């Protein structure tokens, strides 16, 4: 039987589960739990590429840099993105390899620091809307506004800074990712959506001050490697219509046309489920065979058809 390949996009809940559990020791606890569930998936025979978010971690490093600016030079955002790809990749590598070893599976896990090409003419530069860093008090938000930041309410969950989030166009290290997967490595890549870069007139890559939506970039790489499954692991077991309303309804199986319809009806919140549904739609539109949204503890159950929200072309 041919080996099936899945892109597993893990969200911020896989590292930071609560506002009072942001310290690294709690992040280790969370990533070990998530990797235990992914290890079960690998044991079931899946070849896996893992992508991950990095929003809170980028915010922590950015703020440390700002607070220490009177002592040492600040760190540009593209290097912060690279830093988090390395640190989170290390955590996932170690936790997943330990889980696999416990299961008697000898398989290497590697992280590929990934660049994602964006366009200099993308309209997103004129309309910053991507949250960065943690949630802010009213006083903190006002201070950042005075410093020139855009601060918005993030899907009703609190105030956060926002910056430009241009569309991902190309995964620079795509061929390396394919080669590693073909050689039976579990790969961690496109962390935080990838480091945003543009090409200068000579064709050279240069980092830019932006962030890329992790789900959009994950959809792009899933299409790029012709994945059999695009799995978004998030904080809910199933996608809901009319979320948190009396007529809330869980979705089990959704066709591409139905997903587009629900999107047009405004069922999904910006900064929450909306980018995930958009990413799934893009994957299916490019020929992807199926996608799944569920939470980490239910990954294997969902793969067995017992839960989760499945998306299919039609």
5/117 Cα distance (integer angstroms):
24
Q: Under 8 Å CB-to-CB from 60, ≥6 apart: which residues?
A: 22, 133, 134
Q: Which residue among 53, 130, 133, 193 is the active-site one?
A: 130
Output the six-digit token pair for 120: 């200099």
Q: Which residue among 4, 13, 40, 158 is the active-site one?
A: 13
| Known active-site residue 242 | no
| Known active-site residue 12 | yes
| Known active-site residue 130 | yes
Output the six-digit token pair for 17: 């589960």
Beta bridge mates, 153: 159
| Known active-site residue 238 | no
84/195 Cα distance (integer angstroms):
10
131 and 161 in contact (C-beta within 8 Å)? yes
- Owner of token pair 């235990």: 36
Residue of 182, 192, 189, 214 whose CA lies nearest to 5:
182
Q: Which residue among 214, 271, 298, 308 is the active-site one?
A: 214
184 and 156 in contact (C-beta within 8 Å)? no
Q: Which residue among 12, 158, 207, 224 is the active-site one?
A: 12
Answer left, alpha or beta for residue 191, where phi above 0 means left and psi between -120 and 50 means alpha. Answer: beta
Q: Which residue among 276, 288, 298, 308 is the active-site one?
A: 276
* Burial track 136-152 (b if 16+ CB lie within 10 A, e otherwise): beeebbeebeeeebebe
255/142 Cα distance (integer angstroms):
44
Q: Enumerate the active-site residues.
A: 12-13, 130, 214, 276
């Amino acid at each position: 039987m041919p080996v099936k390949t899945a892109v597993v996009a893990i969200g911020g809940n896989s590292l930071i589960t609560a506002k009072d559990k942001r310290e690294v020791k709690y992040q280790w606890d969370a990533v070990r739990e998530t990797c235990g569930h992914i290890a079960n998936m690998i044991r079931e025979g899946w070849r896996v590429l893992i992508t991950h978010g990095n929003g809170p971690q980028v915010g922590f490093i950015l703020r440390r840099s700002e607070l220490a600016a009177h002592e040492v030079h600040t760190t540009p955002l593209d290097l912060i993105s690279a830093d988090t790809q390395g640190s989170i990749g290390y955590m996932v590598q170690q936790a997943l390899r330990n889980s696999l070893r416990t299961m008697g599976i000898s398989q290497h896990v590697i992280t590929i620091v990934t660049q994602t090409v964006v366009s200099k003419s993308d309209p997103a530069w004129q309309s910053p809307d991507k949250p960065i860093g943690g949630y802010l008090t009213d006083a903190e938000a006002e201070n950042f506004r005075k410093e020139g930041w855009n601060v918005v309410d993030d899907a009703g969950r609190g105030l956060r800074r926002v910056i430009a989030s241009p569309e991902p166009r190309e995964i620079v290290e795509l061929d390396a990712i394919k080669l590693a997967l073909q050689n039976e490595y579990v790969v961690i890549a496109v962390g935080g959506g990838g480091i945003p870069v543009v090409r200068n007139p000579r064709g050279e890559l240069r980092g830019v001050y932006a962030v890329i939506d992790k789900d959009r970039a994950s959809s792009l790489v899933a299409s790029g490697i012709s994945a059999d499954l695009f799995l978004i692991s998030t904080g809910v077991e199933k996608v809901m219509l009319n979320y948190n309303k009396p007529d809330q309804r869980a979705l089990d199986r959704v066709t591409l046309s139905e997903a587009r319809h629900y999107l047009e009806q405004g069922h999904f919140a910006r900064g929450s489920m909306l980018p995930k549904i958009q990413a799934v739609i893009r994957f299916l539109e490019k020929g992807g065979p199926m996608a799944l949204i569920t939470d980490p503890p239910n990954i294997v159950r969902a793969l067995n058809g017992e839960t989760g929200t499945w998306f299919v072309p039609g």
